[in-house]
Structure 1
Amino acid sequence: MAGIKTITSRQWLRWLPVLSYLWLVGTLVVGGAMYPGYSHWGQYMSELGANGAPHQLWVNYLGFIPTEVLLLLFLQQVLLHAPGAQVGAQQGYGVRLGIGLLGIYALLLIAASIWTCDFECRPVQGASFSHGLHITLGTFAYLAGLAGVLVLALASRRWPGGFMLMCSGVITVILVFGLLMNLNPQLPAVGAMQRLMESLLYLWFILLGYQLSRMPQRGL
């Protein structure tokens, strides 16, 4: 129809990470509101989708998994537009490796939403196979995500205006890794720490999309 503007591929670079983050926030807000006594400050996000949680299925399949699908769609756009990301481009191995690691991060989180933790996601004797797998998947997801941000941030130094993206990426990795190493379930603010980790990562994803959307089209 006349007068209706379509969103271009480069505009999706800006919108997809924002949509993914808002979907995650919406899932946490709505899921938390429907979980009696749930504390965003002191409980893991995964507890909303744990075995035995009040709304386990919809939190995982309508909340957490679509969040990561949106992130994967964003990474597809990054692969299309990031300088050096195209197959055969010179000096593009770091870019492709970084995108690939971030893709693994999102896929592992999808898997962690299928193999969920036991009720309240706390370490207990006699935990189910799903619980153990969930913890393993989540741990490796964060490690892959941090490696992906670091590799892609370092590779972005060759891009126009990439110095800020590189510096912010390195700082993000340092902060999130520090939080991850101190993410103890006994801490009273463990939920707030995990949400801060996710927010820092998404802040960098949003900055990445914004920077790429502003770059002129480059022939490779």
Structure 2
Amino acid sequence: MKTLDRLLLGSGLLIPLWLLAGVWLTAQAYPGYDHLQQAMSQLGAVGSPTHDWSPRVNNFPLAALFILFAWGLARRWQGSKLALLSAGLVLLHGLGSLGAGWFPCDQGCAPAQPSTSQQLHNLSGLLMFLSLTLASALWAWLGNRIAGSRPLALFSLACVILAIVTVALMGQAAQSGQLFGLYQRLNYGVAVLWVAGLAWASLRRPAVSPLRMAAI
């Protein structure tokens, strides 16, 4: 495998670490911020103490890492159309992260009458959720077929299930006003850990024969 491919795929391993460090660091400058109750988006919300630099620490660098990883996936599994589709979905996730940072949510992130920026922020967040959930669903099928890894396939399937369960819990928490931050972190944590798992498998596992991959 070429050095460029290793660097591109390695960006996927960096994503969970960057997210953890970036959110923790940004929250230190937000007095009274509660990770269990508050959404990560509130770090960059209009009027927050960290409004100006939260997207520069979190959304924008993460967007770049996702885009680089998508490029790496496309190069690594170029023989499979479905794998290329998954790379495109990861790319969309990166663009969603860019949009979520570029368009901050309103103060509190849950206004009765959301601004245009809030609506675009929400749309970006929806794109982020759907793109990685669909990508992991693809790899629940592809994992064993083109990477020869049943553990990757099962891990991807488990992540799809956990993503759906935690997003449902997020919806309930939004209604009750309790523990939204916790469930959001669990939801996105599952997503970025799946990315790291796929990056690791892509770096470590040999591909199946080109003829078989071309049929998938």
Q: TM-score, normalised by structure 2?
A: 0.87
8 Å contact from structure 1 (residues 97, 152) kept in 2: no
8 Å contact from structure 1 (residues 20, 70) kept in 2: yes
1:40 to 35, 52, 62: 35
| Alpha-carbon shift at residue 160 of structure 1 (Å) | 4.1
Q: How does 1:49-128 map to 2 (within 5 A)?
A: 49-82=44-77, 86=78, 89=79, 92-122=80-110, 124-128=111-115
Q: How does 1:1-220 map to 2 (within 5 A)?
A: 8-12=3-7, 15-82=10-77, 86=78, 89=79, 92-122=80-110, 124-183=111-170, 184-185=173-174, 186-216=176-206, 220=210
Q: For structure 2, which runs of at least 5 residues remain unmatched after alignment?
A: 211-216
8 Å contact from structure 1 (residues 105, 144) kept in 2: yes
C-alpha offsets along residues 102-134 of structure 1, whole Å, 9 cap, x if unaligned? 211221121111111001212x22321111221
Q: Which amino acid is the alignment partner of residue 31 of structure 1? A: T
Q: Which amino acid is the alignment partner of residue 85 of structure 2? A: L
- Number of residue pairs matched? 206
- Residues of 2 paired with 1:146 and 1:218: CA distance? 24
Give the secondary-structure state (helix, strand or coil) at the position aligned to 1:121.
coil
- Residues of 2 paired with 1:160 and 1:143: CA distance? 23
Give the secondary-structure state (helix, strand or coil) at the position aligned to 1:147.
helix
Q: For structure 1, which runs of at least 5 residues remain unmatched after alignment?
A: 1-6
Q: Which amino acid is the alignment partner of residue 20 of structure 2? A: V
8 Å contact from structure 2 (residues 137, 157) kept in 1: yes
- Residues of 2 paired with 1:150 and 1:182: CA distance? 20
Percent of residue pairs identical: 27
8 Å contact from structure 1 (residues 99, 152) kept in 2: no
| 1:160 to 1:127, Cα distance in 2 relative to 1, 3 A | closer
Runs of 4+ in 1 over 3 A off after TM superposition: 216-220
| Alpha-carbon shift at residue 218 of structure 1 (Å) | 7.1
8 Å contact from structure 2 (residues 104, 117) kept in 1: yes
- Residues of 1 paired with 2:155 and 2:7: CA distance? 22
Give the aligned CA root-mean-square deviation in angstroms. 2.0
| Alpha-carbon shift at residue 217 of structure 1 (Å) | 6.8
8 Å contact from structure 1 (residues 27, 64) kept in 2: no
8 Å contact from structure 1 (residues 116, 130) kept in 2: yes
- Residues of 1 paired with 2:127 and 2:169: CA distance? 16
Please state which structure has a larger fraction of its residues in helix.
Answer: 2
C-alpha offsets along residues 156-177 of structure 1, whole Å, 9 cap, x if unaligned? 2212432111111011011111
